[in-house]
Chains A and B, each alone.
Chain A
Amino acid sequence: MRSNNNIILETTIKVVLFIIVLFSVYIFFAGHYYPGGGFIGGLMTSGAIVLLLIAYDIKTVATILPVNYRTMTGIGLLFAIGTSAGSLLFNVPFLTHAFGHIEVPVLGEISLHTATLFDLGVYLVVVGVTMTIIQTIGEDE
């Protein structure tokens, strides 16, 4: 058995991981006005988790991120169906979204849109499905 001394890889990934996660969060929130959105943000987040899986092993990553990705997919689908069916409560057609400018104490005036919640559902589904595929393939010997 060869030695398991990949300290350069582990240290690099400890630094790079945060940049990738920050970039994916940025691309998720920028999706309304700039290129990006839930899909590519979710793919970048799962890319960061794949990098963790490469540097460490499946058991360590399950300890670092105790997330059941199948549940995550379900929650994402619930977000999508909830934001689109919520419009029915206000007597408007399915998938009608609401938006508005809201005064927040610290941040000032920000524009909020329920399409962001729909996008959050897409994000969770993409992360969940990608990680389920990768972990299922990676686990069998």
Chain B
Amino acid sequence: MLDIVIRIALFCLALAMVALIYRVIKGPSMPDRIIALDAIGINLVAIIALISIELRTNAFLEIILLIGILAFIGTVAFAKYLEKEVLFERERDQ
């Protein structure tokens, strides 16, 4: 029973990923693409969680936290680049 539920959930997440990839390719502006990539990262977290239930292992639980942190760092970096056009300022103007 759980097996079928997990398969269905994985299929739905795969559909969501396809829709997000459409937004990454098509997205008219850069922020659209960045938000789509962020959502792809979060979807990846969900897929890893479902697969680790499917494989009955807890070896992937660190990867979930890791992808969450990496998606956050990447999105913040892209957002700052779009806002300030420089990622690391030498010295902040107060």
Residues of A within 8 A of B (CB): 1-2, 4, 9, 16, 20, 23, 27, 34-36, 40, 44, 47, 50-51, 53-54, 56-60, 134-135, 138-139, 141
Are A138 and B73 in contact (CB-based, < 8 A)?
Answer: no
A54 touches B70 (CB 8 A): no
Give the complex CA separation of A34 and B59 in angstroms. 7
Write the chain B residue with the least CB distance to A61: B88
Main secondary structure on chain B at its contact with chain A? helix
B18 part of interface (Cβ distance < 8 Å): no
Q: Given A57-B89, A59-B91, answer yes or no on A44-B66 (Cβ-Cβ < 8 Å).
A: yes
B3: interface (CB < 8 Å):
no
In the complex, the number of residue pairs spanning A and B with C-beta atoms less than 8 Å apart equals 57
Q: Does B12 contact A (CB under 8 A)?
A: no
Asked whether, in the complex, the Cβ of A58 is within 8 Å of the Cβ of B88, the reply is yes
Interchain CA distance A54-B76 in the complex, whole Å? 8
- Measured in the bound complex, the distance between the Cα atoms of B80 and A83 in whole Å is 42
- Per DSSP, chain A at the interface is helix
B40 to chain A, nearest CB (A): 19
Contact check, A47 vs B69: say whether CB atoms are below 8 A apart. yes
Q: List 18 A-B contacts (CB under 8 A).
A: A2-B83, A4-B93, A4-B94, A23-B65, A23-B69, A27-B62, A36-B62, A47-B69, A47-B70, A47-B73, A50-B77, A53-B88, A54-B76, A54-B80, A54-B87, A57-B91, A58-B90, A141-B90
A54-B76, A59-B92, A139-B90 known, 12 other contacts, Cβ within 8 Å? A2-B83, A16-B72, A44-B66, A44-B69, A47-B73, A50-B73, A50-B77, A53-B87, A58-B88, A59-B90, A60-B92, A134-B88
